[in-house]
Amino acid sequence: MTMQSRPAEQEFVEEVTEALQNNLGEDVQFRIFDPQICGSFQRDWLAAALEGQGVDGAELDWILDQGLLRRSKAPSGEEGFILYTERMAVLAKNLWDTGRYSVDELRHIFDDWYVRVEIISTEHLAYDSFDVDDYDHFRRRAAEMIEISEHSLFGLAENNPSWTPEVLAERTRDAETKVSRWRWIHGLVSNDADAILAPSVRKLWRKQLFQLRWLDEWCRIMQIGEFETLITDGYSPEVTFYGTRWENGKTTLTNLNWSSTLDRFRETLNEGGAFPLRTPGFNVTAQGLTFTRHPSPEEYQAIFEKERLDQLFGELERRGPGYWTCDLEASGRGQCAECKAIFERTTSSRKYCSERCSSRAKSRRWREANPERARESQAKYYRENYPEE
């Protein structure tokens, strides 16, 4: 099963929806990244969840003491862990056990990880609020789905120049069917109170809402899965790829993008980070490539092709030796590049007054690098925050 073809993806989501509903019922919600429920999840929950996963209580406390895992804040003000923290704790232990990372570098990785978690959980793809009735959520979402499916009709030919006229005609028909189906569903729920709907309609909207929520969650899991793959494969968090492939539950990153990788790593250098730029087979430093072990000529050839070393060498040459020295400004007072506040620098190259401003700037850069995905989630975010005109 691959993520690239739309119908297979839809088929997968529908299949899983069926299976989940049959086994768990429609009231199940995932909320793996949702801070609304974090108040219920404290250290003891985490310790119990990690039992049998190779992380004991003492190790968990060590991970917490190092500041690798963070508590989130619910709208109610309560603090605790999001459910996803369990997975992060397991990977924290695994990464530490490799012996490759200092605690500082792990912190750097986890900082970046939390930027991604924040992007998918709070800023854009916010979860439906518990304070709003599910029926109201569904009415708003049905209206939103009309808009989203109408939008997908727009520019179909221009954005897909490789499609044959037959494929274009088929996809246009599919998209139009989707628009009219959502108009029909929205029509069913837009005027009447839930209590007076026909039983079949009540069943329909609950099922649809379940499917939308599950689809959102699945997208979040896929997005964060890309980062997990990056890190567990042994790349630095700055490394970016042009493509990803998802097959049989496994994410594969394809076509390393050295230009954007070096841009991002440069920012880490400027923020005072002193970590190597890592790939599984070698690190990139001012002195050149340091291989994790001496490669045979065949192995070197394989690494050369897989990691696109021709691109890397070209990019490094273009940037020159100055690339590796951070822009030293006089230490003392600085102005935050994000909120313009004046702050005292701890390192001379620090650009942001706080972790919060640094995260915000990072998430904006992420949006700029992923315009298509960001547009979709942004549109959704705005509608969630300003629901009715």
Which residues of the shown chain bind Zn ion in the complex (CB under 5 A)?
Answer: 336, 338-339, 341, 353, 357
Shortest distance, CB of residue 339 to Zn ion, whole angstroms? 3
Q: How far is the CB of 357 from Zn ion (least distance, A)?
A: 3
**Cα separation, 354 vs 360, whole angstroms:** 10
**Encoded amino acid at 27, one letter:** D
- What Å distances lie between residue 185 and 129, 141, 157, 276, 376, CA to CA? 22, 11, 27, 53, 21
Give 195 or 342: the residue with its C-beta nearer to Zn ion: 342
d(CA 289, CA 279): 10
Q: Which is nearer to Zn ion, 219 or 336 (CB)?
A: 336
Residues sharing a CB contact under 8 Å with residue 280, sequence separation 6 or more, in sequence order: 233, 234, 235, 292
Phi, psi torsion values for 4, nearest 5 degrees: -75, -35
Both tokens assigned to 311: 């691109």
CB of 351 to Zn ion, least distance (A): 9
CB of 359 to Zn ion, least distance (A): 10
Q: Which is nearer to Zn ion, 55 or 353 (CB)?
A: 353
Q: CB 341 → Zn ion: shortest distance, Å?
A: 5
Q: By C-beta, is 49 or 357 nearer to Zn ion?
A: 357
Q: How far is the CB of 116 from Zn ion (least distance, A)?
A: 20
In terms of CB distance, is 64 or 357 closer to Zn ion? 357
Closest CB 360 distance from Zn ion, rounded Å: 8
Q: Which is nearer to Zn ion, 323 or 366 (CB)?
A: 366
Query: Between 36 and 358, whose beta carbon lies closer to Zn ion?
Result: 358
Q: In the bound complex, what is the minimum distance in angstroms from residue 74's beta carbon to Zn ion?
A: 24
**Is residue 61 left, alpha or beta, with left meaning phi > 0 and alpha meaning psi from -120 to 50?**
alpha
Q: What are phi and psi of 232, to 5 degrees?
A: -70, -25
CA neighbor of 329 nearest in space, from 343, 342, 345, 341:
345
Nearer to Zn ion, 60 or 357 (CB): 357
Please report how close the Cβ of residue 343 comes to Zn ion at its closest, in angstroms: 7
Relative orientation angle of helices 355-369 and 371-385, to the nearest 10 degrees: 120
Q: State the DSSP string of 146-201.
A: HHHHHHHHTTHHHH-TTS-HHHHHHHHHHHHHHHHHHHHHHHHHHSS-GGGS-HHH
Comparing CB distances to Zn ion, the nearer of 137 and 362 is 362
Tokens of 218: 């699945």
d(CA 46, CA 83): 9
Residue listed under structure tokens 């109610």: 76
**Do 30 and 217 meet the contact criterion of CB atoms below 8 Å apart?**
yes
